[in-house]
């Protein structure tokens, strides 16, 4: 009887360990999924910021180009005068 009780106890202990492992794996999987979702949101936000900055750079380059064209068109007149 002692051997059977010990065997049963070992079996139950093994099952408990197995269930704990399953629960921990699922918890980690859920946490990983949540972190992945949060990171994807941050990436999306950063991509939006990069796009906005690129638009600002393009606008500034356009303004500098206009200013540069204006300055260049005046230079020959000043040099010739």
Low-confidence ranges of the chain (pLDDT < 50): 81
Q: Is 81 helix (H, G, I), strand (E, B) or coil?
A: coil
The encoded tokens of residue 23 equal 């629960």
pLDDT for position 66: 80
pLDDT for position 2: 83
Give the residue carrying structure tokens 């356009």. Answer: 62
């Amino acid at each position: 009887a002692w051997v059977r009780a010990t065997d049963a106890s070992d079996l139950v202990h093994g099952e408990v360990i197995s269930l704990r492992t399953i629960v921990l794996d699922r918890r980690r999987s859920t946490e990983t999924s949540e972190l992945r979702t949060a990171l994807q949101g941050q990436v999306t936000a950063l991509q939006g910021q990069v796009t906005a900055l690129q638009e600002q750079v393009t606008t500034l380059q356009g303004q500098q180009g206009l200013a540069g064209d204006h300055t260049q068109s005046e230079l020959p007149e000043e040099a010739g005068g």
